[in-house]
Chains A and B, each alone.
Chain A
């Protein structure tokens, strides 16, 4: 009989769950993770990582098509979608195996099965074959069940003609045309990938701008670039109906003025957001409360039921892997009574979108900062003024910084352009260390790098820009 008594039991082995498990083990807890499908969760298997693999392919393909710009010749450039997908799947598999190794190394017990709370402190586990694996007990149960694609009524994904990110990740065919509903990170990344691979892609976004959480100026800049690449974008528009053919879909799209048009495409990707996995995990056997599809938890992830915690996507937005990981660590450290544990500052969580050009940001947008009553100093620096960017052949981009005029606090940083997802962390660290413009101005940025633009943007916010 397997050991079923643990200090900490985590439901879900995604980035939130497995990271929390490792930290719990480090803190000396006897820890167990119950995972229904594969370690690493959506992030590693169906999200962050495999899409980055696809987008890398798209990027190289793009460069090959523009080989001449770099003095190279590449003829008959083509691709094999099957191989592209295989590479992506292989990377997920490799990383999932890596997580299994980490679990073993940290002596975390992994149970393959579905967990269902059975009152406080108890979890019933059912194996993949439907057989009961018994009741597990743990003093602390952390729900990290993640989220799944949300569906619009009437446009429910059928996995054949209307895809979610699952199907979009492993296309059986390369569609000639594609309509993507939603321009958040998921929608725009798939749109960018398929467009680069030669598919005729239309993005339909209900809000005024693509990537609605991003700074308006950055969003506009990105849109211009994406459209230059050949992406069709419709904002303030919605898909009001779909008519499925045998191998195509006709979508009715209504614009801001109420005018409708019909667009026929091979496939539709529904990327209208995700919703928490709160069903069928036995929450009703506890006092845990839910709100709009997510579990209600406090700043240390404690729910209304003592001993039950919720972290990651299921505990609410922002639904990002790095938020889940950090939230889990704070949760378990608080449980362990580690000194100096502070709630996560959600205002300082960066966000990255890996379309071409990339978008990365942290903190308040200019509009949000003003809305919150800040008198702001805004700095801007374009890639056009940066030697490294021009040498890379990537001279289109913008680094924008927003400071509180009164205190010099860095309120937000927003970037669009090549490699900005790797650059943003500089500003994240700066924000967390509570630097003001002064320290950033005094920091030496290496030359020649893209990071110099971060410096220049800060200088610009105070009227001291050099290379513009």
Chain B
């Protein structure tokens, strides 16, 4: 029997992706491990390796196809001794086909919930693989009719299966609404007929007619994810901001000394110092290394720092794991490597998913200060401005110092004002006396 090659879920949040490129053609022989195709997900480009060996019998999804749902059969491999006729009656339906007409997004959706560590009990009805929601056929149909997102519901049936009464409960409580999955307006540009659940942008057709000529650039997977996550964060998280001006003259001096040492195979940036300092600060102010869930505040035992990296067409946040226990040179090397991978679209999911706290540095653009939107479910994000010479008053006299303004945004549900202020105070102390980082 021909072997199905399925659209893989390259990350737990992936529901669909673009089949960017085929690296094989029909008739090619592939062995397990051979790279068959490149898939562009919402976050990165990944390679699909063959799991089985065989001859490529048929390619079912053309290269360049957008919005290919996870688990769609993308190609068929012929086994030893089979010829193309074996494909004639082969079933090319998805691996675990939902009832006809069921949008695949429902099955893939639990991944969304996974990104939010908000386990209310009982936990959402999903398998560990994040692939299948267990729900009765009737519940699935009712959810679809009512526009409910099964991934947001808890199942009360056997083994957490979602049954009719759970749907009825959600309806009576008004919970579990799926994000509006219709494109903004009928005439809105740039809708690739997809299900990425971007809230309506609020531009109606009449308004579009009044606008000057424009080019409509279809939203990429990454753009949709950015839109969805930032909207949710700005809407649902009460942001609280605290700023401080930090004198970095001592830090710049230390950096110069370190970078000019004989045989230095590193070049530590100001941002590397900030990453290290933030990790250390989080160790000292653990209340700020937290995430909010409905049932509990999750206090992380390690600081994994997500650093925002601008890439073509958006941004991504690779992670320096356990930055507190790493030296500056290591952090610097890792940051460089991750940023490079990010720009090339080659980050692995585990390199950008997770993270307990974010840093966004726009200093290179000369901005003096700015506020960021929290990278949910994390509890805090630090916005770092440019280091610039400013006139400061020191001991009653005006002096010149290199100053850098940082602004911390915290999720005010889990991090109180005093804790946020304490964080900034601690960070300022470390960055102004950077020898602490050497301890």
Assess the A434–B100 pair: CB atoms within 8 A.
Answer: no
Within 8 A of B (CB), among A431-449: 433-436, 438-439
Other-chain contact of A408, B141, B156, B158, B163 (Cβ < 8 Å): B141
Closest to B158 in A: A340
Q: Which residues of A contact B99 (CB under 8 A)?
A: 436, 438-439
Say yes or no for B136: interface residue by CB 8 A criterion: yes
Say yes or no for A407: interface residue by CB 8 A criterion: yes
Q: A407-B145, A439-B99 are in contact. Are A434 and B138 (CB under 8 A)?
A: yes
Say yes or no for A409: interface residue by CB 8 A criterion: yes
**Contact mask A334-348 → B, CB, 8 Å, 1/0?**
000000101000000
* Least Cβ–Cβ distance between A440 and chain B, in angstroms: 10
Closest to A436 in B: B137
Assess the A407–B136 pair: CB atoms within 8 A.
Answer: no
Say yes or no for B142: interface residue by CB 8 A criterion: yes
- In the complex, how many residue pairs between chain A and chain B have their CB atoms under 8 Å apart? 32
**Contact mask B76-100 → A, CB, 8 Å, 1/0?**
0000000000000000000000011
* Least Cβ–Cβ distance between A291 and chain B, in angstroms: 26
Assess the B100–A435 pair: CB atoms within 8 A.
Answer: no
Within 8 A of A (CB), among B135-162: 136-139, 141-142, 145, 156, 158
Closest to A440 in B: B137
Say yes or no for B428: interface residue by CB 8 A criterion: no
Closest to B100 in A: A438
Say yes or no for B43: interface residue by CB 8 A criterion: no
Q: Which residues of B contact A439 (CB under 8 A)?
A: 99, 137
Closest to B160 in A: A340
* Least Cβ–Cβ distance between B282 and chain A, in angstroms: 38
Within 8 A of B (CB), among A407-426: 407-409
Q: Which residues of B contact A433 (CB under 8 A)?
A: 136-137
Task: Pick 5 A–B contacts, CB within 8 A, sort by A.
Answer: A407-B141, A407-B145, A434-B138, A435-B136, A439-B99
Q: Which residues of A contact B141 (CB under 8 A)?
A: 407-408, 436
Other-chain contact of B163, A406, A434, A436, A438 (Cβ < 8 Å): A434
Q: Which residues of B contact A407 (CB under 8 A)?
A: 138, 141-142, 145
Say yes or no for B164: interface residue by CB 8 A criterion: yes
Q: A340-B156, A340-B158, A342-B156 are in contact. Are A435 and B137 (CB under 8 A)?
A: yes
Assess the A409–B138 pair: CB atoms within 8 A.
Answer: yes
Q: Which residues of A contact B163 (CB under 8 A)?
A: 434
* Least Cβ–Cβ distance between B240 and chain A, in angstroms: 39
Assess the B156–A434 pair: CB atoms within 8 A.
Answer: no
* Least Cβ–Cβ distance between B252 and chain A, in angstroms: 61
Assess the B158–A434 pair: CB atoms within 8 A.
Answer: no
Closest to A406 in B: B145
**Bound-state Cα–Cα, A408 to B139, Å:** 11
**Bound-state Cα–Cα, A438 to B98, Å:** 11
Assess the B158–A435 pair: CB atoms within 8 A.
Answer: no
**Contact mask B123-140 → A, CB, 8 Å, 1/0?**
000000000000011110
Q: Which residues of B contact A406 (CB under 8 A)?
A: 145
* Least Cβ–Cβ distance between A396 and chain B, in angstroms: 33
* Least Cβ–Cβ distance between A54 and chain B, in angstroms: 39
* Least Cβ–Cβ distance between B249 and chain A, in angstroms: 62
Assess the A436–B138 pair: CB atoms within 8 A.
Answer: yes
* Least Cβ–Cβ distance between A344 and chain B, in angstroms: 13
Q: Which residues of B contact A342 (CB under 8 A)?
A: 156
Q: Which residues of B contact A340 (CB under 8 A)?
A: 156, 158
Assess the A438–B137 pair: CB atoms within 8 A.
Answer: yes
Q: Which residues of A contact B138 (CB under 8 A)?
A: 407-409, 434-436
Assess the A434–B139 pair: CB atoms within 8 A.
Answer: yes
**Bound-state Cα–Cα, A21 to B430, Å:** 69
* Least Cβ–Cβ distance between A17 and chain B, in angstroms: 26
Q: Which of B99, B138, B141, B145 has the most CB of A within 10 A?
A: B138
Q: Which residues of A contact B137 (CB under 8 A)?
A: 433-436, 438-439
* Least Cβ–Cβ distance between A462 and chain B, in angstroms: 13
* Least Cβ–Cβ distance between B140 and chain A, in angstroms: 9
**Bound-state Cα–Cα, A436 to B102, Å:** 13
Within 8 A of B (CB), among A86-113: none
Closest to A404 in B: B138
Q: Which residues of A contact B156 (CB under 8 A)?
A: 340, 342
| For the complex of A and B, 5 pairs with smallest distance between CB atoms | A434-B136, A434-B138, A436-B137, A439-B137, A435-B137
Closest to A345 in B: B165
Q: Which of A340, A408, A433, A434 has the most CB of B within 10 A?
A: A434
**Bound-state Cα–Cα, A439 to B99, Å:** 8
**Contact mask B212-238 → A, CB, 8 Å, 1/0?**
000000000000000000000000000
* Least Cβ–Cβ distance between A339 and chain B, in angstroms: 9
**Bound-state Cα–Cα, A409 to B156, Å:** 19
**Bound-state Cα–Cα, A340 to B163, Å:** 13
Q: Which residues of B contact A434 (CB under 8 A)?
A: 136-139, 163-164
Known: A435-B137, A438-B99. 8 other contacts (CB 8 A): A342-B156, A407-B145, A408-B138, A409-B138, A434-B164, A435-B136, A436-B138, A439-B99
**Bound-state Cα–Cα, A194 to B57, Å:** 70
Q: Which of B99, B100, B139, B145 has the most CB of A within 10 A?
A: B99
**Bound-state Cα–Cα, A340 to B156, Å:** 7
Within 8 A of B (CB), among A29-63: none
Q: Which residues of A contact B100 (CB under 8 A)?
A: 438
**Bound-state Cα–Cα, A407 to B156, Å:** 20
Q: Which residues of B contact A438 (CB under 8 A)?
A: 99-100, 137
**Bound-state Cα–Cα, A24 to B8, Å:** 48
**Bound-state Cα–Cα, A436 to B137, Å:** 6
Q: Which residues of A contact B136 (CB under 8 A)?
A: 433-435
**Bound-state Cα–Cα, A438 to B163, Å:** 17
**Bound-state Cα–Cα, A439 to B100, Å:** 10
**Bound-state Cα–Cα, A433 to B159, Å:** 13
**Bound-state Cα–Cα, A75 to B376, Å:** 86
**Contact mask B84-120 → A, CB, 8 Å, 1/0?**
0000000000000001100000000000000000000
Closest to A433 in B: B136
* Least Cβ–Cβ distance between B349 and chain A, in angstroms: 34
Within 8 A of B (CB), among A309-354: 340, 342
* Least Cβ–Cβ distance between A326 and chain B, in angstroms: 15
* Least Cβ–Cβ distance between A159 and chain B, in angstroms: 47
**Contact mask A391-409 → B, CB, 8 Å, 1/0?**
0000000000000001111
Q: Which of B137, B145, B156 has the most CB of A within 10 A?
A: B137
* Least Cβ–Cβ distance between A377 and chain B, in angstroms: 14
* Least Cβ–Cβ distance between A312 and chain B, in angstroms: 25
Q: Which residues of B contact A409 (CB under 8 A)?
A: 138, 164
**Contact mask B156-176 → A, CB, 8 Å, 1/0?**
101000011000000000000
**Bound-state Cα–Cα, A392 to B310, Å:** 76
**Bound-state Cα–Cα, A409 to B168, Å:** 14
* Least Cβ–Cβ distance between A294 and chain B, in angstroms: 26
* Least Cβ–Cβ distance between A41 and chain B, in angstroms: 30
**Bound-state Cα–Cα, A372 to B158, Å:** 28
**Bound-state Cα–Cα, A435 to B164, Å:** 11
* Least Cβ–Cβ distance between A356 and chain B, in angstroms: 35
**Bound-state Cα–Cα, A436 to B100, Å:** 12
Within 8 A of A (CB), among B379-406: none
* Least Cβ–Cβ distance between B216 and chain A, in angstroms: 38
**Bound-state Cα–Cα, A406 to B142, Å:** 9
* Least Cβ–Cβ distance between A406 and chain B, in angstroms: 8
**Bound-state Cα–Cα, A435 to B136, Å:** 7
**Bound-state Cα–Cα, A438 to B145, Å:** 16
**Bound-state Cα–Cα, A436 to B142, Å:** 11
* Least Cβ–Cβ distance between B67 and chain A, in angstroms: 25
Closest to A431 in B: B138
Q: Which residues of B contact A408 (CB under 8 A)?
A: 138, 141
Within 8 A of A (CB), among B350-383: none
**Bound-state Cα–Cα, A439 to B135, Å:** 13
**Bound-state Cα–Cα, A342 to B142, Å:** 21
* Least Cβ–Cβ distance between A254 and chain B, in angstroms: 46
**Bound-state Cα–Cα, A434 to B164, Å:** 7
**Bound-state Cα–Cα, A406 to B145, Å:** 9
**Bound-state Cα–Cα, A229 to B158, Å:** 46
